[in-house]
Structure 1
Amino acid sequence: MKQFRLQKIIFILPLFFCVMLATGQNVQSVDVKELSDSDIEKVRKQMQDAGLTEQEAINLARQRGASEAQIREFQQRLREGAVSIDSLSAVSNAEYNMEAMKDSSLSVRKDTFNTAVNIFGFSLFNNKKLSFEPGANIQTPKNYEIGIGDQLIINVWGNSQNNYELTVNQNGQIIVPDVGPVYVAGMPFRDAESKIKQRLTSIYADMGGNNPQTFAQINIGELRAIRVNIVGEVMSPGTYTLPATSTVFNALYLSGGPDTIGSFRNIKIIRDNKLFQTVDIYKFIVDADPSDNISLKDEDIIFVPPVERRVEVRGEFRRNTRFEIKEEETLDDLFRFAGGFTGNAWLAQVHVYRKTQQGLQIIDVLHENAENTILKDGDRIVSRKISEEFENRITIEGAVYQPGEYQWEEGVTLSALIQKAGGLKKDAFQNRGMITRENPDKTKSNIPFDVGDVVARKSDIVLQPEDSVLVKSLFDLREEPYISVSGEVLTPGEFHFSDGMTLGDAVFVADGFTEGADSTFIEVARRLSYKEAAQVNNQLVHIFTFKLDRDLRLQQGDAQFKLQPFDQISVRQAPGFRNAGKVTVKGEVKYAGQYAISEKGQRISDLVIMAGGITQYAFAEGATFERTNPILGSENIAVDLPAILAGAGGHNDLFLRDGDVLFIPEYIQTVKVSGSVQNPFSLTYEKGVSFKSYIERSGGFDSRALRRKAYVKYANGSTASKKGFIFKSYPKVLPGSEIIVPEKPAKENNNTSQWLAVASTFSSIAVAIAAVLR
C-alpha cells in the first residue's frame, strides 16, 4: 500500500518535485520560489487526498536528487500558507522535519541570545559560516552500517554483464537473482561488499581466482532515513527524520543546539535503551577534535541535561565569556578554555569571586596553584591588567640629538644620559638645565644644574627612576628675531632676521619693489635699546630714511646700514603714481564701452563727451550711476543727467573714479503702479496725467493702503512723496516712474486678559479716589 502511494505521488504532484520525475526533467532545476501560492495550495491538497505524509514526499524527492534548499523552501511555502505541518504528517505529532525545526530554533534563539549572557559555544549551531546540516548525497563511508531499507547497486562487467538494484528487506537480506538471499543488515559496508562478491562467484565462475575475467562493483544507492529523538535542554526538542549518514552534530544543528541552561559537555547518546556515549562539544570547539561527532542510528536518543557547573571569566583573558566546567577540572583547565591571557595580564595571580550563603567571597589564587584549584558553579574569575607605571624609566627632552625615554640602571648619571641621547645640540643653552624628580609621595621637585659643567664632567648628578631632564635651546629663551617690510613691495610681511642683514636684503626677501614704489624715500623704524627703554621718556622708536637703487644693486651706503631685529621697513608710494583707472558707459551713447581716466578732475559730462554724446533715443532722465565705495561697498547714485549736460562742472557733475559705471536707458513709455492698490499694473505714460489718476486707473487704493505714505520712484533711482497737510501736493509722474503704495502695519489685538488688567487698574484708582473724598 505504501509503495502504491509513493508511485501515485509522481502523478499527483505535477507542480513540484514529482512532476519533474514523471517528465524526465532535472529536479534540481525547479525554483520553488517561482511557484504561485495557488500552486502550493494545490500540491498540499493533492497530498492530503492521496493520504501521503509530507515526510514521505520529502524522502522521495531527496532520493531523486532534490536539494535540501529546495525541500526547505517547499516546506517554508507550506507554512506561509497557514498549513500545519502536523496536519500534513501521518507520523507522530512530535516529529519535525529538518528545516521547520531549524527555522523555529532560529526564532527562539534570536530572542534568547539577545537577553542571555554570552555562553561559550552557544552560537556554534547558529553560525551561517559553519553548517552542520546533514548531506544526503555524499560518498558512503566504508564503515557505514547497512540497515533495512538501504538500496544496494551491483554492477557486473567483463565476460558477463549484469546490473542489480536490491533493497535490504525486513529480514535484513537482499535477494540476488540465481544466488538467493544474502544477509547484510548490521554489517559494515566493506564486509557486506566482500560477502556479496563471494556469493556472486557461485554464478560467475570466472570472477574468482588469480586471473578473474568478470568483475563486480557494489555501491549504496538510496539511503534509508532514520528517526532520532532529541530531548532535554535544547532549543527545539522533538523527533527528527535524518539521512542515515547523519551525526550528532547534524542533529544538534537542526534542533538549534543546547539552550541557555543546556550542557555542552555532558550530552548523552542513548542507544538500545543504554548509554552509548557521552559527547563533549568542547573537544571540537577548543581542540578541533571531532571524535565525539559519532554517526547516529535509527531510534537513537540525544539527551541534553542541564548544566551543572558554569563559571565566568572577565578581564585580561582572550575569551571573556561563561564556560562549563566538569567536576574534576581545575582553574588551569579554565585558562585553556579561555584561550590563555592577553599581553596586558598581570600573571602573578587571579581573583576568584564566589557566592556563598553568607555572601560574596574573594579568593586570591597564585598562578602556580591554578592546577590545584577546583571551581564551583557561579564562580567569577577576574584577571587584572599589569600596572602602567614604569619601574626603570628616565626621560630627557630638549636640545639633545635623541630626546625620549631611556632605561634607568643603578648608578646611572646625568652626563651618561646626555651622552646616551647623542649629546648636546649646538644651540643648547648651557648655563642652566633642570631635573624634575618624583618624590616618594608622588609630588614633584626640581633640581637645577649647570649644563656646561655636567658635560665637562666638572659636576654630575646620580639619576633616579622617573627623573625627567630638560635641556633648553638658545632659541627657546629669547624672542624669535624678525623684521617687517610693508608698503610698496611685492610680498609685504614679517621675515626671519639674520645677522648682517641690510636694507637691500630686506627688500629682496620681500620680492622687490612694486611699480609705484618710491625707492628714494624708505623709512626704517627701530626699537629703543634696552638701556634707552629703561628710562622714562617720550621717544618710542628711532626713525631712519634711506634711498635704494630700484635694481637692488649692492651699494656702499646700503652695506654699511645693518638692520637689527624687529626693525620695521616702510616703502612709500611715489607721489605722482596712480593706477590707470577705468570707467564704463552703457546704453544710449554713440560709443558705449570702457574708457581710461586720463587725468584728475574728469567728470560725468566728460565721459559722455568721450562716448560721442547721447543718441536720439536716450532717456537722460532715467540715467543711473553705479560706484564701488571702499567703505560702503557697491552703491547706486541718483544723478540728474539733463542738468549735468546742461551745466557741466556743476555739483551734480561728479568726478570720475576707477570702476564707475554710467547707464543711459532708452526712452521708457510706461508707469508702474505697485503695492496696496486694487490692480497693481504697468500703464502707458501720458504727459500731464497726475499721481491720483494713475492710482484710479489701477482700481484705487485697497483697504490695507497707507495712503499718506505713497511715493514715486523715478527711473534714475530718486524718490518723491506727497507734501503738505491741508493743501496736499502730489509728486509729478515722469516716464519710467513707479508709484508705490505701502501697506498699513498689522495691529496687535489686545486679548481679554489685557482688557481685564486695564479694567482692574481703573477700578483700583476709583476705589482710591473714593477713599480720599471720604
Structure 2
Amino acid sequence: MPFVCETVFKQLLLETNCQKIYNNMKFHSRKILLLFLSVFFAISSIAQDVRSVDPKTMPESDVKKIEEAIRNAGLSPTEAANMARQRGASEQQIRDMQQRLQQSIANRDTIMQTQKTDSLQRQKGDQLSERKVQVKDTLRVFGSSLFNNENLTFEPSINIQTPKNYEIGIGDQIIINIWGNSQNNYQLTVNKSGQILIPDVGPIYIAGMTFENAETKIKQRLTEIYADMGSDNPQTFAQINMGRLRSINVNIVGEVTAPGTYTLPVTATAFNALYLSGGPNEIGSFRNINIIRDDEIFKTIDIYKFLIDADVAENVRLKDEDIILIPPTEKQVAVSGEFKRKGLFEVKEDERLNDVIRFAGGFTSDAYWTNLKIYRKNIGGKSIIDVPFHEAESALILNGDSIFSGQTVKIFKNRVTISGAVFRPGEYEWKENMTLKDLIFKADSLKGNAFLNRAIITRLNSDSTRRTLSFDLNPILSGENTILLNPEDSVQIKSLLDLKQTPYISVTGEVLEPGDFHFAENTTLADAIFMAGGFTEAADSSFIEVSRRLSYEEAAELSDEMVHIFTFDLSRDLKFNEGDANFTLKPFDRVSVRRAPAFRENASVMVRGEVKYAGIFAIQNKHQRISDLVEMAGGLTPQSFLDGATFSRVSEELGSEFIAIDLNKILQNPGGNEDLLLRDGDILEIPEQMQTVKITGSVQNPFSITYQEGKSLKYYIDKSGGFSSDALKRKVYVRYPNGATSSTKSFIVKNYPEVLPGSQIVVPAKPEREGITTQTWLSIASTFSSIAVALAAVLR
C-alpha cells in the first residue's frame, strides 16, 4: 500500500516541529496522536473516496504499515485530526480506527513487556533448565531412542498461546489493555494470596481458576470503573493476556540418565522433563514411571502406550514440586530373528508372549511364525521352549527370556519348471498325477522350432542328489508315451537353433556397410551386396570372390584344401536376374569385394610461400615430384629462400612429420633421390630471404643478430657475449631453416658447422653432477682398504 511520500513527511516535521512534541508526550497522548495519524494515512492512501473506507475490515498488515508510517511522521493531534476531517473522515471512522490501532498497540506492548519481564527474571537467576545430556548411541532397549535422538526433541516451548484451560497460579503475570473511550494498561502479578489488585477495583482472586474463567471474572469486575464496557453498544473494550508465565521446579530421580532438579515453564509436560534428563538409563523402567504429587502417586506413565499406540494421554502436564520417579525395570526380554523390531523389551507382570510380539511390530514376511522359540535361563543352565503361535496369548514370559522366530524354509513343495522352446517358460504348480504333456500345455505348447528328438528332465533323488531322465518328445505329444512328473522336476526343451551354430554370411571390402549378416535360405550374392549397402565408388564389381568352407564330409578327410573359391561378375546396379547375381549362398560364406586396380581418390598437395602461384594442386599421376610441384606453381619468386624450404607429410605409418629437404639440389637435379614423389596432403613451404641468426642456450646474452656472410659459428657466439660457465662446447649444433641440423666435430681442434641465414645456434648446458656424499667416501675408503688387505696377503 503506498503512503505519503518522504518529502511530505520532512516538510511537515519542519513546519510543525512535531518530532519534539511527540517525544515529550505522555503515554495516553501518544495514543491519541497515533489515532488521528492512522485515520489520515489510511484514508489518504487506501481510497480516493474517504467515506468508502471501513477501518473495521482493514487487514492487520495495513494497520502495522500505518503504525510504522505514523512513527516516522510526528504530527500533533490537532493537525492530524484537522487534516483527516478535511479529507472527509467521519467521527465513526475515527472511532473505528481508534479501536483497531489501540488493539494493535496493546498486543505489541504486551509482547514487549513480557520480553522485558522475562529478561529481568532471567537476570535474577530464575532461568529455565536446558538439556545437557549428550546424545549417545541408541541402546538396545526399546524406547531409549525417544530421548536420545538428534532428530527428535521434546524441549519445552515457552512461546505458545496460553491454553483456555490453563490453571492460573501464584507468580503468573496478567496484562490488561483498555482502549476505546478510555485507555489504560495494567500489568499485574498474582500475589501469594492468589489475587491480582486492580486500582479502583480492588483484589480479584483468580489462583486455581482456568484462564478462560479468570478472563470472564476480570472483565466483569472492570465494568465497575468502565461502565461503558458492559453496555449494549460498548465504546470501551478490554483485552486480557497472560504475560510471563511462572516457572516450576520438577525433581527427577531414580534410574534416570541425568537425575536432578529441573526448572521448567508451567506448560511443561512429563515428556519435556524426561527429554531434558535424557530419559531412563540402561536399567530404568519405561513402563512404570511414577509422577508423585502431594506425596501421592498422581500418574503412572507407560511410554510404550505413546510409542506403540500414540496415546498422548500419558504425556501429562506437570506442576510445581512434582517428583518423577523412574524405578528399575522388573521384567525384560530379548527379541531376535524375523521380527520387525529387535532388541530388549520391558514386559509387565500380566503380559504374555502375544504382547511382546505386538511390541516388536509383528513378524517379517520371511518369518516362520507357526512355531516360536523361547530360550530361558535356569539355575542349572538354559532351556529351550517351543511355543506354537496359537498358544502365544497364554504363554508366560519370565525375566531374561530370549524370544526367537526363524525363517521359513525356502523350498517349494509343489513346483515344476519348464524352460526352452515353449511359449511361456517358467515355474508352475505341481498337482497329483500331473504329466509332462500337461506341463507343456500349461506353458502354451511348444514353439515351431522345438527339437523333438530329445529332451531331458532333471529330478531330485530321495537323498537330494539329482538325476537326468531323457525322452523323445514325439511319442509324448502323440499320446503313445506318458511321463508322470514329481515336485521340483525341471524340464528342458531345446530349439533347433540352440543345437546349431547361428549361421551367417560375411561381406567385406568395398561395400558401404561391411559386416556379418544373419543367413536365410535362398540368399543370393546380389542379396548379400544389397544387405551390405551396395558398392563403394572404388569397388570392382567384375571381380567378386566368394569363399566357402568345406562340407562335413570334405572336412572329415585329410587334405591341403581349406576352402572353395568362386569368382563372379556383377553389374554395379544389382539388376535382378543379371549375370551372377542369382548365385545362391550357403551358411558361413564370405563375400569379398575388391578395389578397382586403377581407382584413386582425388589427391592434392599444397605449396605456400615464395612461388608465383601458391595454393593447392591436384596430383595427376604417380610420378610427380617436388620439382614438378614448383613448376606447376609457376616457379620461384626473386625473394625465395631455397635453403629455408620445408616439406611436411602425413602418413598412416608415421603420422605427421617434417622432412628436411635441399630444394637447391632438387631443382638442380630433377628426378633425383632427393626429389621426393608427391603424396596426398603434402605441403611445400618456401620462405622469403632470411637475414638473421638466432643464438640460444648457454651463452652470456642469447638473442638474434644479423647474418654476416662468411662468418663462422664462433663469431656469432662471441657477439652473444661468449659461452657461459656451464656451456657444453663440444656439443654445440646448428639447426638450419629447412629442419636439418649439423653438430660440432672435435678432433684435436673443434670444427664448428657452417652458419646460414635463418639458422639457430644451440649451445647445450653441461649436465648437473651430484656431489660425493660422506657415505660415498666411506664406501670408497672401505673398498681401498679391502684391496690393501688382499695385496698384503698376496705379498706374504
Pairwise TM-score range, normalised by the shorter structure: 0.7 to 0.9
Q: How many Å separate the matches in 2 of 1:67 and 1:181?
A: 22
- Kindly indicate whether residue 708 of structure 2 is the aligned counterpart of residue 686 of structure 1: yes
Q: How many Å separate the matches in 2 of 1:70 and 1:581?
A: 95
Q: How many Å separate the matches in 2 of 1:336 and 1:167?
A: 50
**CA distances 1:608-647 after superposition (whole Å, capped 9, x unpaired):** 1111112222111111111122212222111110111122
1:597 Cα deviation from its structure 2 partner? 0.6
Q: Among 640, 651, 663, which residue is 2:685 paired with? A: 663
Letter in 2 for 1:411: N
* 2:143 equivalent in structure 1: 120
- Kindly indicate whether residue 513 of structure 2 is the aligned counterpart of residue 491 of structure 1: yes
1:394 Cα deviation from its structure 2 partner? 1.9
Q: How many Å separate the matches in 2 of 1:724 and 1:187?
A: 119
Q: Among 750, 769, 772, which residue is 2:794 paired with? A: 769
Letter in 1 for 2:731: K
- Kindly indicate whether residue 324 of structure 2 is the aligned counterpart of residue 278 of structure 1: no
Q: 1:120 to 1:245 in 2, by over 3 A?
A: closer
- Kindly indicate whether residue 652 of structure 2 is the aligned counterpart of residue 606 of structure 1: no
Q: Among 520, 525, 528, which residue is 1:506 paired with? A: 528
Runs of 5+ consecutive residues of structure 2 not aligned to the other structure: 1-26, 35-63, 65-106
Letter in 2 for 1:516: A
Q: 1:190 to 1:65 in 2, by over 3 A?
A: closer
Question: Bigger shift: 606-615 or 708-717?
Answer: 708-717
* 1:183-194 map, 5 Å: 185-186=207-208
1:216 Cα deviation from its structure 2 partner? 12
* 1:71-220 map, 5 Å: 89=124, 97-98=127-128, 100-102=129-131, 104=132, 108-110=133-135, 113-114=136-137, 116-117=139-140, 119-124=142-147, 128=151, 131=154, 133-135=156-158, 137-142=160-165, 144-149=166-171, 169-172=191-194, 185-186=207-208
* 1:466-545 map, 5 Å: 466-545=488-567
Q: How many Å separate the matches in 2 of 1:165 and 1:639?
A: 108
Q: How many Å separate the matches in 2 of 1:631 and 1:128?
A: 67
* 2:111 equivalent in structure 1: 65
Q: 1:189 to 1:731 in 2, by over 3 A?
A: closer
**CA distances 1:538-570 after superposition (whole Å, capped 9, x unpaired):** 111111111011111012543552111111111
**CA distances 1:479-536 after superposition (whole Å, capped 9, x unpaired):** 1111111222112222221111111111111111111222111111111111111111
Q: How many Å separate the matches in 2 of 1:67 and 1:536?
A: 113
| Residues paired across the two proteins, number | 690
* 1:308-319 map, 5 Å: 308-319=330-341
* 1:16-27 map, 5 Å: none
Q: Among 454, 457, 465, which residue is 2:476 paired with? A: 454
Q: How many Å separate the matches in 1 of 2:537 and 2:558?
A: 42
Say whether the 8 Å CA contact 1:62–1:68 is kept in structure 2.
Answer: no
Letter in 2 for 1:583: V
1:395 Cα deviation from its structure 2 partner? 1.7
Q: Among 715, 718, 739, which residue is 2:761 paired with? A: 739
Question: Bigger shift: 476-485 or 233-242?
Answer: 233-242
Q: 1:699 to 1:117 in 2, by over 3 A?
A: farther
Q: How many Å separate the matches in 2 of 1:223 and 1:622?
A: 98
Q: 1:671 to 1:217 in 2, by over 3 A?
A: closer
**CA distances 1:350-374 after superposition (whole Å, capped 9, x unpaired):** 3334555655554443323333344
1:251 Cα deviation from its structure 2 partner? 3.1
Question: Bigger shift: 410-419 or 214-223?
Answer: 214-223
Letter in 1 for 2:780: W
* 1:56 equivalent in structure 2: none
Q: How many Å separate the matches in 2 of 1:162 and 1:607?
A: 111
Q: 1:373 to 1:505 in 2, by over 3 A?
A: same
Any idea what SS the aligned residue of 1:715 has?
Answer: coil
1:478 Cα deviation from its structure 2 partner? 1.2
Say whether the 8 Å CA contact 1:125–1:252 is kept in structure 2.
Answer: no
* 1:579 equivalent in structure 2: 601
Note the aligned Cα RMSD (angstroms): 4.3
Any idea what SS the aligned residue of 1:470 has?
Answer: strand
Any idea what SS the aligned residue of 2:512 has?
Answer: coil
Q: Among 246, 256, 259, which residue is 1:225 paired with? A: 246
Identity %: 52
Say whether the 8 Å CA contact 1:125–1:131 is kept in structure 2.
Answer: no
Q: How many Å separate the matches in 1 of 2:789 and 2:753?
A: 52
- Kindly indicate whether residue 758 of structure 2 is the aligned counterpart of residue 758 of structure 1: no
* 2:272 equivalent in structure 1: 250
1:604 Cα deviation from its structure 2 partner? 0.6
Q: 1:220 to 1:362 in 2, by over 3 A?
A: farther
1:89 Cα deviation from its structure 2 partner? 4.4
Say whether the 8 Å CA contact 1:136–1:243 is kept in structure 2.
Answer: no
Q: 1:330 to 1:719 in 2, by over 3 A?
A: same
Question: Bigger shift: 325-334 or 236-245?
Answer: 236-245
Q: How many Å separate the matches in 1 of 2:227 and 2:777?
A: 122
Q: How many Å separate the matches in 2 of 1:272 and 1:424?
A: 86
* TM-score, normalising length: structure 2: 0.76
**CA distances 1:121-163 after superposition (whole Å, capped 9, x unpaired):** 4324756555462456435444x54544556789999xx9999
Say whether the 8 Å CA contact 1:133–1:253 is kept in structure 2.
Answer: no
1:664 Cα deviation from its structure 2 partner? 0.8
Q: 1:758 to 1:702 in 2, by over 3 A?
A: farther
Q: How many Å separate the matches in 2 of 1:405 and 1:225?
A: 72
Any idea what SS the aligned residue of 1:609 has?
Answer: helix
* 1:392 equivalent in structure 2: 414
* 2:20 equivalent in structure 1: none
Q: How many Å separate the matches in 2 of 1:192 and 1:130?
A: 33
**CA distances 1:95-126 after superposition (whole Å, capped 9, x unpaired):** xx33x423x1xxx232xx23744642432475
Say whether the 8 Å CA contact 1:355–1:379 is kept in structure 2.
Answer: yes
* TM-score, normalising length: structure 1: 0.78
Q: How many Å separate the matches in 2 of 1:470 and 1:615?
A: 86
Say whether the 8 Å CA contact 1:149–1:167 is kept in structure 2.
Answer: yes
Question: Bigger shift: 325-334 or 502-511?
Answer: 325-334
Q: 1:471 to 1:251 in 2, by over 3 A?
A: same
Q: How many Å separate the matches in 1 of 2:392 and 2:321?
A: 43
Question: Bigger shift: 444-453 or 177-186?
Answer: 177-186
* 2:734 equivalent in structure 1: 712
Say whether the 8 Å CA contact 1:228–1:301 is kept in structure 2.
Answer: no
Question: Bigger shift: 573-582 or 372-381?
Answer: 372-381
Q: How many Å separate the matches in 2 of 1:356 and 1:682?
A: 103
Q: How many Å separate the matches in 1 of 2:721 and 2:220?
A: 122
Any idea what SS the aligned residue of 1:474 has?
Answer: coil
Q: How many Å separate the matches in 2 of 1:509 and 1:729?
A: 70
Any idea what SS the aligned residue of 1:371 has?
Answer: coil
Q: 1:196 to 1:616 in 2, by over 3 A?
A: closer
Q: How many Å separate the matches in 2 of 1:747 and 1:358?
A: 84
Letter in 2 for 1:603: R
Q: How many Å separate the matches in 2 of 1:320 and 1:428?
A: 53
Runs of 5+ consecutive residues of structure 1 not aligned to the other structure: 1-19, 30-60, 79-84, 92-96
Q: How many Å separate the matches in 1 of 2:738 and 2:225?
A: 126
Q: How many Å separate the matches in 1 of 2:394 and 2:309?
A: 22
Any idea what SS the aligned residue of 2:313 has?
Answer: coil
Say whether the 8 Å CA contact 2:730–2:750 is kept in structure 1.
Answer: no
Q: How many Å separate the matches in 2 of 1:291 and 1:121?
A: 20
Say whether the 8 Å CA contact 2:730–2:745 is kept in structure 1.
Answer: no
Letter in 2 for 1:759: F
Q: How many Å separate the matches in 1 of 2:113 and 2:282?
A: 32
Say whether the 8 Å CA contact 2:512–2:532 is kept in structure 1.
Answer: yes
* 2:352 equivalent in structure 1: 330
* 2:310 equivalent in structure 1: 288
Q: How many Å separate the matches in 1 of 2:219 and 2:696?
A: 113
Q: How many Å separate the matches in 2 of 1:603 and 1:236?
A: 99
Any idea what SS the aligned residue of 2:274 has?
Answer: helix
